[in-house]
Structure 1
Amino acid sequence: MSDVRYDGPQLADAGDVDLCFDAFGEPTSPTVLLVMGMGFQLVHWPEGFCRQLAAEGFRVVRFDNRDAGSSTHLPGRRYSLEDMADDVVGLLDALGVDSAHLVGASLGGMVVQTTAIRHPRRVRSLASLMSTTGRRGVGRTSPRVLRHLLSRPPRTVEEAVERRVRVFATIGSTGFDQDLDELRRVTALAMARDPDARGGRRRQHRAVRTAPDRTTALRRVAVPTVVVHGTDDRMCHPSGGRATAAAVPGARLEVVEGMGHDLPPGAWPRLVRAIADNARRGEERGRPG
């Protein structure tokens, strides 16, 4: 996939915030916009995964959410998932893209769901990965995982790297090999890009906590939708994925045996196929009406 075009990091004026993004694939290809989870950055979408998806004929754009990575941080500010969905549209505006195929993981799944509800004309297809609807009782986090998340913040890069390895030993896929060297590399890179990430993560978490149940609103989503969830996800119980698929009319549910709350290389072929096939259905339908 080394021949896939890559355009390096840039800042886009998305209205209230500047968003850092990069892109894989030809600018004239249909856009797939990747939205990452809570406290995570564009670098947490693996480059190899992005290149494989771009090779399917798409322009793959990944970006740092507000309060993450190299995008605008908002200390002292409160905001909502609706604000984060508006950021998505602001980025599309900056890119000159009328509508895109949206792919969101975890918190990113909540953001793309909200975008499809709030801005239906800007969404050609929807892929919600390892996420949930906001309905109480579904998609819960294992208490074992919460213990890791509530531990004291790392003080050095070495501590951050080893903490991430421990966390992913708990939330990561049990049915696929983990690339620990890559996990360590990306963790160090993320800390270098955003040394004070904890505050932003807390503000994103507040947006999730205060968000309403999207179940009823998701019934209005009319674009091709695929919901992907791993059987071994301890961060967001698979009931969250089932609830999302049940809420969106015609949604396809892809249950990946042995996948946790991560993107292991062994699962990429299936994930890329599910996203690309769903996006092609969106292309066949044409522009949102």
Structure 2
Amino acid sequence: MPLPHAGPPVPQTVRLPDGRRLGFTRYGHPAHRAVVFHHGFGSSGLELPPDAALLARLQLQILAPDRPGVGQSGVYRPLSFPSFADDVVALLDALGVDAPVGVMGWSVGGVHALALAARHPARVAAVALLSTCLPLGEPAAYRHLSRLWKLLRWGQVSFPWLNRTTFLWLSRQWQRRPDRTIDWFIRLMRPEEARVTARFRVLLRDAAVAGFANHGRGVYDDAQAWCRPPGFRIEEVQAPVRLWHGEQDGVWAPGNIPYLARRLGGAPVHLLPGQGHMLYLENWPAIMEEMAALLDGPCLSC
């Protein structure tokens, strides 16, 4: 039987019940099982490898929503992990996706993935956390943060106007000089992150341009939400979880990943030697194959 044809990923929008606009990118064929992907900080749903052949073989589609203020999504204040989890469920309802979905999240998107699984357990069949972070505003997690991340949270909470100004300036750079801006970021990165970013330069550049749309408002609101109490408990996640993390992650060191795995009932961890924060781009087929296996497994009806 021939596989359904799917065109290139195209950003789309839906109207949420309260009238707001939510942007998302669909990868793959609408008839296939759905996986929701939560993008990283300062990025958008355009950050995924457009591997249509892989998705067709696995019979999966990916729905990658943009958080409020990102891409074509309208600005919404105050953004929170629970509020965006509810937005994603509204997106699934609008698209007629009734079956439990796979959920993925890269970097801070991993916290949004956990929020969706915790808040709407009946809608989530499996979770993959890719180079994930901890919720900065949760007291239990805060004790495990590095000094740098504690300092960054203090600055975001204590000087929000400074961060707003910074994200506004970065938004202008991404809109006016996208090539120069991504090259500047690559020069600031650690070697492993710089290598992968340079390889996927155009994809990540375009994702960041959409991420910093709307004068950087979405990035600022995302940072504020990350620093507030998360509004859910990690232990509330019922779906099976898999964690992927690089031993050379220069953004979020792997030391906290065993702690997070314990809070998720001893979730298995793929700790990859020589890999950094961008590992999802170079391990995409393996990540998607594992997700397909989880969706095929007995936990789909748990």
For 1:55, which of 42, 45, 57 is the aligned residue?
Answer: 57
Over 3 Å counting, the alpha-carbon distance change for 1:182 and 1:243 in structure 2 is same
| Structure 2 equivalent of residue 278 of structure 1 | 294
Please say if 1:44 is aligned against 2:44. no
Q: Secondary structure at the match of 1:40?
A: coil
Identity %: 24
CA distance in structure 1 between the partners assigned to 2:146 and 2:231 by the alignment: 14
| Structure 2 equivalent of residue 13 of structure 1 | 15
Please say if 1:109 is aligned against 2:110. yes
CA distance in structure 1 between the partners assigned to 2:119 and 2:280 by the alignment: 31
Superposition RMSD in Å:
3.3
Q: Aligned ranges for residues 262-273 of structure 1 at < 5 Å?
A: 262-263=278-279, 265-273=281-289
Q: Could you state the TM-score of these two structures normalised by the residue count of structure 2?
A: 0.78
- Which stretch shifts more, 160-169 or 83-92? 160-169
Please say if 1:153 is aligned against 2:170. yes
- Which stretch shifts more, 128-137 or 92-101? 128-137
| Structure 2 equivalent of residue 68 of structure 1 | 70
Flag structure 1 segments of 5+ consecutive residues without an equivalent. Answer: none
- Greater fraction of residues in helix: 2
Structure 1 segments of 4+ aligned residues over 6 angstroms from their partners: none
Equivalent pair of 2:24/2:65 in contact (CA under 8 Å): yes
Per the TM alignment, residue 153 of structure 1 is displaced from its structure 2 partner at its CA by 2.5
Q: Could you state the TM-score of these two structures normalised by the residue count of structure 1?
A: 0.81
Q: Aligned ranges for residues 71-220 of structure 1 at < 5 Å?
A: 71-74=73-76, 77-98=77-98, 99-134=100-135, 135-138=141-144, 140=146, 153=170, 155-156=172-173, 157=175, 159-171=177-189, 174=192, 177-178=195-196, 180=198, 182-184=200-202, 186-188=204-206, 190-191=208-209, 195-212=213-230, 217-220=233-236
Over 3 Å counting, the alpha-carbon distance change for 1:14 and 1:241 in structure 2 is farther
Per the TM alignment, residue 57 of structure 1 is displaced from its structure 2 partner at its CA by 1.9
Cα deviation, 1:26-60, whole Å, max 9, x if unaligned, reads 33322111111222111112223x65345322122
- Which stretch shifts more, 224-233 or 22-31? 22-31
Amino acid at match of 2:79: Y
Cα deviation, 1:112-171, whole Å, max 9, x if unaligned, reads 10111111111011111111332114464858xx7xx96953644564433323434555
Q: Aligned ranges for residues 18-33 of structure 1 at < 5 Å?
A: 18-33=21-36
Equivalent pair of 2:247/2:274 in contact (CA under 8 Å): yes
Provide the aligned length of Structure 1 versus Structure 2. Answer: 278
Equivalent pair of 1:123/1:223 in contact (CA under 8 Å): yes
CA distance in structure 2 between the partners assigned to 1:169 and 1:55 by the alignment: 37
Q: Secondary structure at the match of 2:274?
A: coil
Amino acid at match of 1:286: L
CA distance in structure 1 between the partners assigned to 2:220 and 2:88 by the alignment: 20
